[in-house]
Amino acid sequence: MASSSRRPTLADVAARAGTSTAVVSYVVNNGPRAVAPATKQRVEQAIEELGYRRNPIAGALSAGHSNLVGLIVPDTANGFFGELSRHFEAEGRKRGFLTMLGNTGYDGQISAHYISGFSDLRARGIFTMSVAQGNEISADVPLVFIHSVPDGVSAPSVRFDDHAGAMLAVEHLIGHGFTDILCLAGTHAGDPASLRVQGWEQAMTEAGLSTEGRVFRSSFDRVRVEADVREVLERGDRPQAIFATTDEQALAVLRAAAAVGVRVPEDLALVGFDGIREALLGRVRLTTVRVPMEQLAAQAFDLLDSLGPAAARATAPAVATATGAAPAPAVAPELEHLVFPGELVLGETCGCL
């Protein structure tokens, strides 16, 4: 082993083996040129004696790609994004990938920064749940949108059927006889929660129920939602039921209701969306639309496997101008968009159990 704490380099191996760094590189990278058996044996012995480890980033720069994948999410402190990230990391490990994670805080510029940085590291691909708005991005690796797909972006995607899932949840509440159903939504336009609002609206309209003034917008942060919802529950026009576009928001409703003495489901019915573990296995089980996170992660990696360098080059210009006119790619790939349905899981908050 090396006597110094300094990490041994390619030059150290070459000096020990009595050859050039180029020859050592050929041995380490298994090419592009053949090495004489005796020389190869000396290099391998030197590698073992020095404890040399190949630099994966340097290898990626020479080979054009690495075993790294990028995953860009809005906020892993949010239960849904945290669980989905774990599924992606686990799926990546099974396939020999190391996952690099970036939190954007719903900031388009930060998203653009991560996409550019992961591209510089020659990642095998990038999965993004955050949208870089109005920023030029050099994405030289395949890009797959997951969970949310911005308008005008020419890239493959894997997501959930948010609109249909929301209709499923709201129709269930309507089936209980509720006619005043508040929709607890987020503040970000164009995200999956917006599609869930549209699903709520369609279900209400088809049932002949009014939606006017019944959308309440708040954060996806549970602490902030709880404070906002307490004001709603203490008003004289408290709704009969709430459809929360995320489980994080629904769990905040439970806390707010307990704080002001509103009983769920006796005084207020509640349905969420996402199916995170805390919602399904908590002290009070939430009625929610569970989405297949593990299946989505597996299919996203399958989709990435089907994409080659040409797909990366074709995707990059469209992402670079996601909010404006995108230049036509040199080669237009046949894009694939996979959509997974959700499943209504009955808990104790809608009045069924």
Question: What is the 3-class SS of 77-119, one letter each residue?
Answer: CCHHHHHHHHHHHHHHHHCCCEEEEEECCCCHHHHHHHHHHHH
β-sheet bridge partners, residue 98: 68
pLDDT of residue 332: 40
Q: On the CB side of 287, how many CA atoms lie within 13 Å of its CA?
A: 24
Q: What is the pLDDT of residues 226-263, one digit of tens each?
A: 999 999 999 888 999 999 999 999 999 999 999 999 99
Q: Give residue-wise pLDDT tens across range 298-337.
A: 999 999 998 865 455 434 333 332 333 333 333 344 678 8
Report the DSSP beta bridge partners of residue 126.
Answer: 70, 143
Poorest-confidence range of 118-132, 275-289, 317-331?
Answer: 317-331
- Which range, 108-112, 168-172, 222-226, has the best average confidence (pLDDT)? 168-172
- pLDDT value, residue 308: 65
pLDDT digits (tens, 9 = 90+) for 54-89: 665 555 555 556 789 999 999 999 999 999 999 999
For residues 95 and 309, the model is more confident at 95
pLDDT for the residue 283: 85
pLDDT at 325 (0 to 100): 36
Q: What pLDDT does residue 63 have?
A: 53
d(CA 159, CA 339): 5
Pick the CATH number of 67-160+295-340 from 3.90.950.10, 3.50.50.60, 3.40.50.2300, 2.10.109.10: 3.40.50.2300
pLDDT at residue 162, as a whole number: 95
- Tell whether pTM > 0.75: yes
Q: Are 41 and 18 within 8 A, CB to CB?
A: no
Q: Is residue 348 a contact partner of residue 267, using CB atoms and an 8 Å limit? A: no
Look at strands 287-290 and 343-345 and give their pairing.
antiparallel
Which residues are paired to 270 by β-bridges?
242
Phi then psi for residue 302, to 5 deg, are: -60, -40
- Burial class from Cβ neighbours inside 10 Å (0-12, 13-18, 19+) for residue 307 reads buried
Instruction: Give CA–CA dist 317/42, Å, rounded.
Output: 47
Q: What span, in angstroms and rounded, lies between the C-alpha atoms of 143 and 137?
A: 11
pLDDT at 240: 97
Distance CA 304, CA 144 (A): 7
- Which residues are CB-neighbours of 154 under 8 A, at least 6 positions away? 314, 315, 318, 319, 326, 329, 332, 335
Nearest to 195 by CA among 251, 133, 246: 246
Instruction: Considering only residues 319 and 50, tell me which one the structure prediction assigns the higher pLDDT.
Output: 50
Higher pLDDT, 193 or 211: 211
Average pLDDT, whole number, for the chain?
A: 84
Is the domain covering 162-292 a CATH 3.40.50.2300 domain?
A: yes
Q: What is the location of CATH 3.40.50.2300 in the chain?
A: 67-160+295-340, 162-292
Task: Please tell me the predicted confidence (pLDDT) of residue 226.
Answer: 95
Q: Which residues contact residue 47 at a Cβ distance below 8 angstroms, ignoring those fewer than 6 apart?
A: 13, 27, 28
The rounded radius of gyration (Å) of the Cα atoms in the chain is: 26
Q: What is the DSSP letter of 7?
A: P
| DSSP letter, residue 337 | E
Q: Which helix (H) or strand (E) holds 64?
A: none
DSSP-assigned states of every residue in 281-299: HSSSPPEEEE--HHHHHHH
pLDDT at 93: 93
Query: Residue 212: what are its φ and ψ, rounded to 5°?
Result: -65, 125
Rounded Cα gap, residues 278 and 80, in angstroms: 10
- pLDDT on residue 107: 84
Tell me if 169 sits within 8 A of 244, measured CB to CB. no
